[in-house]
Structure 1
Amino acid sequence: MVSQLQPKEIIYPDQDGNPMSDNTKQFRWIVVIQQNLEALFANDPSVFVAGDLLWYPIEGDNKTRTAPDAMVAFGRPKGDRGSYQQWKEDHIPPQVVFEILSPGNRLTEMNKKQEFYDRHGVEEYYLYDPDRNDLSGWLRTNDRLAVIDEMQSWVSPRLGIRFESSEEDLQLYLPNGEPFKTHTQLLQQRDQARQQAEQAERRAEQAERRADLLAEQLRSMGIDPDRLP
Protein backbone atom coordinates (compact mmCIF):
# COMPACT_ATOMS: atom_id res chain seq x y z
CA MET A 1 0.00 0.00 0.00
CA VAL A 2 1.43 3.36 -1.06
CA SER A 3 0.95 6.11 1.49
CA GLN A 4 -0.07 9.49 0.16
CA LEU A 5 2.26 12.37 0.83
CA GLN A 6 0.67 15.20 2.73
CA PRO A 7 0.98 18.58 0.99
CA LYS A 8 3.61 20.73 2.61
CA GLU A 9 2.21 23.67 4.52
CA ILE A 10 3.12 26.98 2.94
CA ILE A 11 4.43 29.58 5.36
CA TYR A 12 3.76 33.23 4.71
CA PRO A 13 6.37 35.13 6.77
CA ASP A 14 5.30 38.29 8.56
CA GLN A 15 8.64 39.95 7.86
CA ASP A 16 10.81 40.26 4.79
CA GLY A 17 14.00 41.21 6.62
CA ASN A 18 13.97 44.77 5.32
CA PRO A 19 13.81 47.74 7.69
CA MET A 20 10.68 49.88 7.77
CA SER A 21 12.72 52.96 6.88
CA ASP A 22 16.27 54.01 6.11
CA ASN A 23 16.27 57.35 7.94
CA THR A 24 14.24 59.54 10.28
CA LYS A 25 12.73 61.65 7.49
CA GLN A 26 11.32 58.63 5.68
CA PHE A 27 10.07 57.12 8.95
CA ARG A 28 8.39 60.39 9.94
CA TRP A 29 6.49 60.59 6.66
CA ILE A 30 5.40 56.96 6.86
CA VAL A 31 4.06 57.47 10.39
CA VAL A 32 2.32 60.76 9.55
CA ILE A 33 0.50 59.26 6.55
CA GLN A 34 -0.46 56.01 8.28
CA GLN A 35 -1.59 57.65 11.51
CA ASN A 36 -3.64 60.39 9.85
CA LEU A 37 -5.37 57.90 7.56
CA GLU A 38 -6.10 55.67 10.54
CA ALA A 39 -7.58 58.65 12.39
CA LEU A 40 -9.58 59.66 9.31
CA PHE A 41 -11.29 56.26 9.13
CA ALA A 42 -11.30 55.51 12.87
CA ASN A 43 -15.11 55.38 12.99
CA ASP A 44 -15.52 53.24 9.88
CA PRO A 45 -15.21 49.55 10.84
CA SER A 46 -14.90 48.48 7.21
CA VAL A 47 -11.69 50.36 6.38
CA PHE A 48 -8.34 48.77 7.22
CA VAL A 49 -5.23 50.97 7.37
CA ALA A 50 -1.70 49.62 7.83
CA GLY A 51 1.93 50.61 7.52
CA ASP A 52 4.81 48.40 6.37
CA LEU A 53 2.60 45.29 6.31
CA LEU A 54 3.49 42.45 3.94
CA TRP A 55 0.85 41.91 1.28
CA TYR A 56 0.52 38.47 -0.33
CA PRO A 57 -1.87 38.65 -3.29
CA ILE A 58 -1.77 35.00 -4.41
CA GLU A 59 -2.66 31.97 -2.31
CA GLY A 60 0.04 29.33 -2.44
CA ASP A 61 2.71 31.83 -3.51
CA ASN A 62 4.82 33.20 -0.65
CA LYS A 63 7.38 34.78 -2.97
CA THR A 64 5.07 37.29 -4.64
CA ARG A 65 4.75 39.93 -1.96
CA THR A 66 5.53 43.52 -1.05
CA ALA A 67 5.13 45.80 1.94
CA PRO A 68 3.72 49.25 1.08
CA ASP A 69 4.85 52.02 3.40
CA ALA A 70 1.14 52.72 3.95
CA MET A 71 -1.96 51.10 2.53
CA VAL A 72 -5.74 51.37 2.80
CA ALA A 73 -8.17 48.53 2.11
CA PHE A 74 -11.85 49.47 1.85
CA GLY A 75 -14.35 46.75 2.63
CA ARG A 76 -12.05 45.00 5.12
CA PRO A 77 -12.51 45.01 8.91
CA LYS A 78 -10.06 46.58 11.30
CA GLY A 79 -7.89 44.32 13.43
CA ASP A 80 -4.37 43.02 13.85
CA ARG A 81 -2.76 40.97 11.10
CA GLY A 82 0.65 39.43 10.68
CA SER A 83 0.34 40.02 6.95
CA TYR A 84 -2.34 40.92 4.43
CA GLN A 85 -3.19 37.62 2.72
CA GLN A 86 -5.59 38.69 0.01
CA TRP A 87 -7.49 35.37 -0.31
CA LYS A 88 -8.38 35.72 3.39
CA GLU A 89 -9.57 39.28 2.79
CA ASP A 90 -12.44 38.40 0.46
CA HIS A 91 -9.90 38.72 -2.40
CA ILE A 92 -9.91 42.51 -1.95
CA PRO A 93 -6.55 44.19 -2.68
CA PRO A 94 -5.55 47.40 -0.93
CA GLN A 95 -7.06 50.11 -3.09
CA VAL A 96 -4.63 52.87 -2.09
CA VAL A 97 -0.90 52.58 -1.38
CA PHE A 98 1.85 55.05 -0.49
CA GLU A 99 5.61 54.76 -0.87
CA ILE A 100 8.14 57.17 0.67
CA LEU A 101 11.49 57.17 -1.07
CA SER A 102 14.78 57.01 0.77
CA PRO A 103 18.33 57.30 -0.63
CA GLY A 104 18.59 53.51 -0.44
CA ASN A 105 15.68 52.88 -2.83
CA ARG A 106 16.84 51.84 -6.30
CA LEU A 107 15.01 52.73 -9.50
CA THR A 108 14.67 49.04 -10.40
CA GLU A 109 13.11 48.30 -7.00
CA MET A 110 10.53 51.08 -7.35
CA ASN A 111 9.70 50.05 -10.93
CA LYS A 112 9.02 46.52 -9.71
CA LYS A 113 6.75 47.88 -6.98
CA GLN A 114 4.81 49.92 -9.49
CA GLU A 115 4.40 46.84 -11.71
CA PHE A 116 3.25 44.86 -8.65
CA TYR A 117 0.60 47.46 -7.76
CA ASP A 118 -0.52 47.67 -11.37
CA ARG A 119 -0.82 43.89 -11.74
CA HIS A 120 -2.60 43.26 -8.45
CA GLY A 121 -5.39 45.81 -8.54
CA VAL A 122 -4.28 48.93 -6.68
CA GLU A 123 -6.51 51.86 -7.65
CA GLU A 124 -4.33 54.73 -6.43
CA TYR A 125 -0.57 54.77 -5.95
CA TYR A 126 1.35 57.73 -4.50
CA LEU A 127 5.14 58.02 -4.44
CA TYR A 128 6.88 60.82 -2.53
CA ASP A 129 10.57 61.69 -2.37
CA PRO A 130 11.01 63.94 0.70
CA ASP A 131 14.62 64.78 -0.14
CA ARG A 132 13.65 66.23 -3.51
CA ASN A 133 10.13 67.19 -2.48
CA ASP A 134 8.88 65.29 -5.52
CA LEU A 135 5.39 63.76 -5.58
CA SER A 136 4.06 61.40 -8.24
CA GLY A 137 0.73 59.65 -8.48
CA TRP A 138 -1.03 56.97 -10.52
CA LEU A 139 -4.76 56.31 -10.89
CA ARG A 140 -6.31 53.15 -12.29
CA THR A 141 -7.84 53.96 -15.64
CA ASN A 142 -9.02 51.35 -18.16
CA ASP A 143 -7.69 48.63 -15.85
CA ARG A 144 -4.16 50.09 -15.75
CA LEU A 145 -2.38 52.50 -13.44
CA ALA A 146 -1.97 55.71 -15.41
CA VAL A 147 0.16 58.69 -14.38
CA ILE A 148 -1.69 61.60 -12.82
CA ASP A 149 -0.46 64.54 -14.88
CA GLU A 150 -1.03 67.26 -12.28
CA MET A 151 -0.62 66.43 -8.59
CA GLN A 152 -0.93 70.01 -7.34
CA SER A 153 -4.27 70.28 -5.48
CA TRP A 154 -5.05 66.67 -6.45
CA VAL A 155 -7.85 65.11 -4.39
CA SER A 156 -7.74 61.35 -3.90
CA PRO A 157 -10.99 59.81 -5.21
CA ARG A 158 -10.92 57.10 -2.54
CA LEU A 159 -9.57 58.98 0.46
CA GLY A 160 -10.82 62.50 -0.15
CA ILE A 161 -7.47 63.94 0.97
CA ARG A 162 -5.80 66.80 -0.92
CA PHE A 163 -2.15 67.11 -1.93
CA GLU A 164 -0.49 70.55 -1.97
CA SER A 165 3.18 71.13 -2.78
CA SER A 166 5.27 74.21 -2.10
CA GLU A 167 8.92 74.78 -2.94
CA GLU A 168 9.91 73.51 0.51
CA ASP A 169 7.53 70.71 1.39
CA LEU A 170 4.46 68.61 0.73
CA GLN A 171 1.29 69.17 2.71
CA LEU A 172 -1.67 66.80 2.86
CA TYR A 173 -5.14 67.94 3.89
CA LEU A 174 -8.03 65.95 5.31
CA PRO A 175 -11.46 66.15 3.63
CA ASN A 176 -12.51 68.76 6.23
CA GLY A 177 -9.63 71.01 5.16
CA GLU A 178 -7.42 70.42 8.20
CA PRO A 179 -3.77 69.60 7.51
CA PHE A 180 -2.28 66.23 8.37
CA LYS A 181 -0.79 66.29 11.87
CA THR A 182 2.33 64.75 13.32
CA HIS A 183 2.02 61.80 15.67
CA THR A 184 2.64 64.13 18.62
CA GLN A 185 -0.04 66.55 17.45
CA LEU A 186 -2.53 63.71 17.05
CA LEU A 187 -1.82 62.58 20.61
CA GLN A 188 -2.24 66.14 21.88
CA GLN A 189 -5.51 66.46 19.96
CA ARG A 190 -6.76 63.19 21.46
CA ASP A 191 -5.77 64.29 24.97
CA GLN A 192 -7.43 67.67 24.48
CA ALA A 193 -10.65 66.03 23.30
CA ARG A 194 -10.57 63.72 26.32
CA GLN A 195 -10.03 66.66 28.70
CA GLN A 196 -12.89 68.58 27.09
CA ALA A 197 -15.18 65.55 27.44
CA GLU A 198 -14.19 65.15 31.10
CA GLN A 199 -14.80 68.86 31.77
CA ALA A 200 -18.21 68.67 30.10
CA GLU A 201 -19.06 65.62 32.23
CA ARG A 202 -18.00 67.42 35.42
CA ARG A 203 -20.09 70.48 34.49
CA ALA A 204 -23.09 68.25 33.87
CA GLU A 205 -22.62 66.54 37.25
CA GLN A 206 -22.31 69.90 38.99
CA ALA A 207 -25.47 71.18 37.30
CA GLU A 208 -27.31 68.01 38.35
CA ARG A 209 -26.17 68.45 41.97
CA ARG A 210 -27.31 72.10 41.99
CA ALA A 211 -30.69 71.06 40.60
CA ASP A 212 -31.05 68.36 43.28
CA LEU A 213 -30.09 70.86 46.01
CA LEU A 214 -32.62 73.41 44.73
CA ALA A 215 -35.32 70.73 44.62
CA GLU A 216 -34.60 69.79 48.26
CA GLN A 217 -34.82 73.45 49.31
CA LEU A 218 -38.16 73.81 47.57
CA ARG A 219 -39.50 70.68 49.27
CA SER A 220 -38.39 72.03 52.64
CA MET A 221 -40.54 75.08 51.91
CA GLY A 222 -43.52 72.87 51.09
CA ILE A 223 -43.20 73.33 47.34
CA ASP A 224 -43.25 70.32 45.03
CA PRO A 225 -40.61 71.06 42.33
CA ASP A 226 -42.22 68.51 40.00
CA ARG A 227 -45.39 70.60 39.89
CA LEU A 228 -43.67 73.86 39.01
CA PRO A 229 -44.54 75.21 35.57
Structure 2
Amino acid sequence: MQVTQNQPDAAIVYPVSDGEPVAETYDHLYAILVTLEVLRQHLDGQQATVLANQFLYYAQGLPKLRVAPDVMVICGVEPGGRDSYKIWEEGEVPRVVFEMTSKGTQQEDQIFKRRLYAQIGVEEYWLFDPKGEWLESPLMGYRLAGDDYVLMADSCSQALGLRLNVEGKLIGFTSLATEERLLAPAELSYELVQEQQRTERLREQLRALGVDPVE
Protein backbone atom coordinates (compact mmCIF):
# COMPACT_ATOMS: atom_id res chain seq x y z
CA MET A 1 0.00 0.00 0.00
CA GLN A 2 1.60 3.27 -1.12
CA VAL A 3 1.23 6.21 1.24
CA THR A 4 2.25 9.82 0.64
CA GLN A 5 3.82 11.46 3.67
CA ASN A 6 3.33 15.13 4.36
CA GLN A 7 5.79 15.33 7.26
CA PRO A 8 8.57 13.21 8.81
CA ASP A 9 7.21 10.18 10.64
CA ALA A 10 9.07 11.19 13.81
CA ALA A 11 6.85 14.28 14.10
CA ILE A 12 3.61 12.31 13.84
CA VAL A 13 1.77 11.10 16.93
CA TYR A 14 0.33 7.57 16.76
CA PRO A 15 -2.03 7.22 19.77
CA VAL A 16 -2.05 3.95 21.69
CA SER A 17 -5.60 4.36 23.07
CA ASP A 18 -8.89 5.99 22.16
CA GLY A 19 -10.49 5.74 25.59
CA GLU A 20 -13.13 3.26 24.40
CA PRO A 21 -13.95 0.07 26.36
CA VAL A 22 -12.03 -3.04 25.35
CA ALA A 23 -15.24 -5.01 24.76
CA GLU A 24 -19.00 -4.53 24.74
CA THR A 25 -19.83 -7.23 27.32
CA TYR A 26 -18.08 -9.46 29.84
CA ASP A 27 -18.53 -12.47 27.52
CA HIS A 28 -16.73 -10.65 24.72
CA LEU A 29 -13.92 -9.49 27.01
CA TYR A 30 -13.42 -12.99 28.42
CA ALA A 31 -13.35 -14.51 24.92
CA ILE A 32 -10.70 -11.98 23.88
CA LEU A 33 -8.49 -12.58 26.93
CA VAL A 34 -8.70 -16.38 26.78
CA THR A 35 -7.99 -16.43 23.03
CA LEU A 36 -5.01 -14.14 23.59
CA GLU A 37 -3.51 -16.32 26.29
CA VAL A 38 -4.15 -19.68 24.58
CA LEU A 39 -2.51 -18.48 21.35
CA ARG A 40 0.34 -16.81 23.25
CA GLN A 41 1.13 -20.13 24.95
CA HIS A 42 0.76 -22.01 21.66
CA LEU A 43 3.32 -19.76 19.96
CA ASP A 44 5.70 -19.55 22.91
CA GLY A 45 9.30 -19.85 21.72
CA GLN A 46 8.48 -18.89 18.13
CA GLN A 47 9.21 -15.66 16.28
CA ALA A 48 5.69 -14.38 16.69
CA THR A 49 3.54 -12.18 18.88
CA VAL A 50 -0.13 -12.11 19.81
CA LEU A 51 -1.77 -8.77 20.58
CA ALA A 52 -5.26 -7.88 21.79
CA ASN A 53 -7.08 -4.60 21.27
CA GLN A 54 -3.91 -2.77 20.24
CA PHE A 55 -4.04 -0.25 17.42
CA LEU A 56 -2.89 -1.65 14.08
CA TYR A 57 -1.50 1.18 11.94
CA TYR A 58 -1.36 0.26 8.27
CA ALA A 59 -0.49 3.54 6.51
CA GLN A 60 2.69 5.38 7.41
CA GLY A 61 2.16 9.06 7.99
CA LEU A 62 -1.61 8.73 8.40
CA PRO A 63 -2.33 8.00 12.08
CA LYS A 64 -6.10 8.17 11.55
CA LEU A 65 -5.88 5.06 9.37
CA ARG A 66 -5.91 2.48 12.09
CA VAL A 67 -7.96 -0.42 13.40
CA ALA A 68 -7.91 -2.30 16.71
CA PRO A 69 -8.38 -6.05 16.12
CA ASP A 70 -9.69 -7.94 19.12
CA VAL A 71 -6.84 -10.44 18.71
CA MET A 72 -4.13 -10.52 16.04
CA VAL A 73 -1.27 -12.94 15.44
CA ILE A 74 1.85 -11.61 13.73
CA CYS A 75 4.53 -14.08 12.62
CA GLY A 76 8.16 -13.32 11.82
CA VAL A 77 8.54 -10.64 14.49
CA GLU A 78 10.04 -10.46 17.97
CA PRO A 79 7.82 -11.98 20.68
CA GLY A 80 6.37 -9.75 23.35
CA GLY A 81 3.80 -7.03 23.78
CA ARG A 82 3.44 -3.77 21.91
CA ASP A 83 1.53 -0.60 22.78
CA SER A 84 0.57 -0.44 19.11
CA TYR A 85 1.65 -2.18 15.92
CA LYS A 86 2.93 -0.35 12.84
CA ILE A 87 3.24 -2.54 9.78
CA TRP A 88 5.96 -0.43 8.13
CA GLU A 89 8.19 -0.59 11.23
CA GLU A 90 7.90 -4.34 11.87
CA GLY A 91 7.77 -5.41 8.24
CA GLU A 92 5.03 -7.99 8.72
CA VAL A 93 1.27 -7.90 8.25
CA PRO A 94 -0.81 -9.77 10.88
CA ARG A 95 -1.29 -13.31 9.65
CA VAL A 96 -4.47 -14.06 11.58
CA VAL A 97 -7.10 -11.73 13.05
CA PHE A 98 -9.99 -12.55 15.38
CA GLU A 99 -12.99 -10.30 15.99
CA MET A 100 -15.49 -11.12 18.75
CA THR A 101 -18.56 -9.71 17.05
CA SER A 102 -21.34 -8.03 19.00
CA LYS A 103 -24.45 -5.92 18.53
CA GLY A 104 -22.40 -2.76 18.19
CA THR A 105 -19.67 -4.20 15.93
CA GLN A 106 -21.43 -6.74 13.71
CA GLN A 107 -21.72 -4.57 10.61
CA GLU A 108 -18.19 -3.19 10.89
CA ASP A 109 -16.77 -6.69 11.48
CA GLN A 110 -18.59 -8.28 8.55
CA ILE A 111 -18.16 -5.49 5.99
CA PHE A 112 -15.55 -2.80 6.68
CA LYS A 113 -13.00 -4.88 8.59
CA ARG A 114 -13.35 -7.84 6.26
CA ARG A 115 -12.51 -5.60 3.29
CA LEU A 116 -9.70 -3.82 5.12
CA TYR A 117 -7.99 -6.99 6.34
CA ALA A 118 -8.17 -8.45 2.84
CA GLN A 119 -6.65 -5.29 1.35
CA ILE A 120 -3.67 -5.29 3.71
CA GLY A 121 -3.12 -9.03 3.25
CA VAL A 122 -4.27 -10.71 6.47
CA GLU A 123 -4.20 -14.42 5.62
CA GLU A 124 -7.05 -15.57 7.89
CA TYR A 125 -9.98 -13.69 9.39
CA TRP A 126 -12.08 -15.29 12.13
CA LEU A 127 -15.40 -14.00 13.43
CA PHE A 128 -16.72 -15.32 16.74
CA ASP A 129 -20.07 -14.51 18.31
CA PRO A 130 -19.89 -15.52 22.01
CA LYS A 131 -23.60 -14.97 22.50
CA GLY A 132 -24.65 -16.66 19.25
CA GLU A 133 -26.80 -13.74 18.22
CA TRP A 134 -25.33 -12.00 15.18
CA LEU A 135 -23.69 -14.50 12.83
CA GLU A 136 -25.09 -17.35 10.75
CA SER A 137 -22.78 -19.60 12.75
CA PRO A 138 -21.13 -18.60 16.05
CA LEU A 139 -17.67 -19.22 14.56
CA MET A 140 -16.84 -18.33 10.96
CA GLY A 141 -13.35 -18.55 9.48
CA TYR A 142 -12.25 -16.92 6.23
CA ARG A 143 -9.12 -17.58 4.18
CA LEU A 144 -7.69 -14.98 1.83
CA ALA A 145 -8.03 -15.88 -1.86
CA GLY A 146 -6.83 -13.15 -4.17
CA ASP A 147 -8.22 -9.85 -2.95
CA ASP A 148 -11.14 -11.25 -0.92
CA TYR A 149 -11.94 -13.93 1.62
CA VAL A 150 -13.59 -17.31 1.12
CA LEU A 151 -15.42 -19.08 3.92
CA MET A 152 -13.58 -22.09 5.34
CA ALA A 153 -15.54 -25.32 5.40
CA ASP A 154 -13.30 -27.17 7.86
CA SER A 155 -12.63 -24.53 10.58
CA CYS A 156 -8.94 -25.37 10.36
CA SER A 157 -6.36 -22.62 10.63
CA GLN A 158 -3.46 -23.64 8.44
CA ALA A 159 -1.66 -20.48 9.51
CA LEU A 160 -1.73 -21.56 13.16
CA GLY A 161 -1.82 -25.33 12.73
CA LEU A 162 -5.01 -25.49 14.78
CA ARG A 163 -8.59 -26.68 14.45
CA LEU A 164 -11.11 -24.27 15.94
CA ASN A 165 -14.50 -25.03 17.44
CA VAL A 166 -17.09 -23.44 19.71
CA GLU A 167 -16.82 -24.31 23.40
CA GLY A 168 -19.70 -22.50 25.05
CA LYS A 169 -18.82 -18.83 24.95
CA LEU A 170 -15.18 -19.46 24.03
CA ILE A 171 -13.19 -20.62 21.02
CA GLY A 172 -11.65 -24.06 21.49
CA PHE A 173 -8.33 -24.93 19.85
CA THR A 174 -6.93 -28.35 18.92
CA SER A 175 -3.51 -29.03 17.39
CA LEU A 176 -3.73 -30.38 13.85
CA ALA A 177 -0.40 -32.16 14.33
CA THR A 178 -1.04 -33.92 17.65
CA GLU A 179 -4.86 -33.74 18.04
CA GLU A 180 -4.24 -32.36 21.53
CA ARG A 181 -6.65 -29.75 22.81
CA LEU A 182 -5.02 -26.54 23.99
CA LEU A 183 -5.92 -25.70 27.57
CA ALA A 184 -7.31 -22.37 28.68
CA PRO A 185 -5.50 -20.55 31.53
CA ALA A 186 -7.93 -21.75 34.21
CA GLU A 187 -7.53 -25.34 32.99
CA LEU A 188 -3.75 -25.03 33.01
CA SER A 189 -3.85 -23.81 36.61
CA TYR A 190 -6.04 -26.77 37.58
CA GLU A 191 -3.70 -29.23 35.86
CA LEU A 192 -0.71 -27.71 37.66
CA VAL A 193 -2.39 -28.12 41.05
CA GLN A 194 -3.34 -31.71 40.21
CA GLU A 195 0.24 -32.50 39.17
CA GLN A 196 1.62 -30.98 42.36
CA GLN A 197 -0.79 -33.08 44.42
CA ARG A 198 0.17 -36.25 42.54
CA THR A 199 3.86 -35.49 43.11
CA GLU A 200 3.32 -34.95 46.84
CA ARG A 201 1.37 -38.23 47.16
CA LEU A 202 4.24 -40.08 45.46
CA ARG A 203 6.74 -38.53 47.83
CA GLU A 204 4.64 -39.60 50.81
CA GLN A 205 4.53 -43.17 49.50
CA LEU A 206 8.31 -43.19 49.07
CA ARG A 207 8.83 -41.86 52.60
CA ALA A 208 6.53 -44.60 53.94
CA LEU A 209 8.85 -47.14 52.28
CA GLY A 210 11.88 -45.53 53.91
CA VAL A 211 13.05 -43.82 50.74
CA ASP A 212 14.03 -40.18 50.93
CA PRO A 213 12.66 -38.58 47.71
CA VAL A 214 14.89 -36.10 45.96
CA GLU A 215 13.28 -32.64 46.14
TM-score (ref. length: structure 2): 0.77
User: Aligned to 2:27, which of 25, 28, 32?
Assistant: 25
What is the aligned length?
194
User: Aligned to 2:149, which of 146, 150, 153?
Assistant: 146
The Cα shift of 1:16 comes to 2.4
Q: Which has the larger share of strand?
A: 2
CA distance in 2, matches of 1:190, 1:39: 15
CA distance in 2, matches of 1:17, 1:208: 53
The Cα shift of 1:79 comes to 2.1
Where do residues 50-61 of structure 1 align in structure 2 (5 Å cutoff)? 50-61=51-62
* Identity in percent: 31
> What are the superposed Cα offsets for residues 137-194 of structure 1, whole Å, 9 maximum, x if unpaired?
211123x2322252xx42111111112358x66652331333343332233345566x
Counterpart residue type for residue 111 of structure 1: I
Using the TM superposition, name which of 11-20 and 93-102 deviates more. 11-20
Aligned to 2:3: none
User: Aligned to 1:41, which of 40, 43, 49?
Assistant: 43
Where do residues 124-143 of structure 1 align in structure 2 (5 Å cutoff)? 124-132=124-132, 134-142=138-146
Q: Check the 8 A contact 1:52/1:70 in 2, yes or no.
A: yes
The Cα shift of 1:15 comes to 0.9
Where do residues 1-229 of structure 1 align in structure 2 (5 Å cutoff)? 9-44=11-46, 46-89=47-90, 91-108=91-108, 110-132=110-132, 134-142=138-146, 144-150=147-153, 153-165=154-166, 171-175=171-175, 176-190=178-192, 195=196, 206=212
CA distance in 2, matches of 1:131, 1:18: 21
> What are the superposed Cα offsets for residues 7-35 of structure 1, whole Å, 9 maximum, x if unpaired?
57101111122211111111111112111
CA distance in 2, matches of 1:69, 1:88: 21
CA distance in 1, matches of 2:142, 2:173: 19
Query: Which structure is higher in RCO with an 8 Å CA cutoff and minimum separation 6?
Result: 2
CA spacing shift, 1:148–1:106, aligned 2, 3 Å: closer
CA distance in 2, matches of 1:190, 1:57: 41
Counterpart residue type for residue 173 of structure 2: Y
CA distance in 2, matches of 1:52, 1:164: 22
Q: CA RMSD in A?
A: 3.0
CA distance in 1, matches of 2:81, 2:166: 34
Structure 2 gaps of 5+ residues are 1-6, 207-211
CA distance in 1, matches of 2:155, 2:20: 31
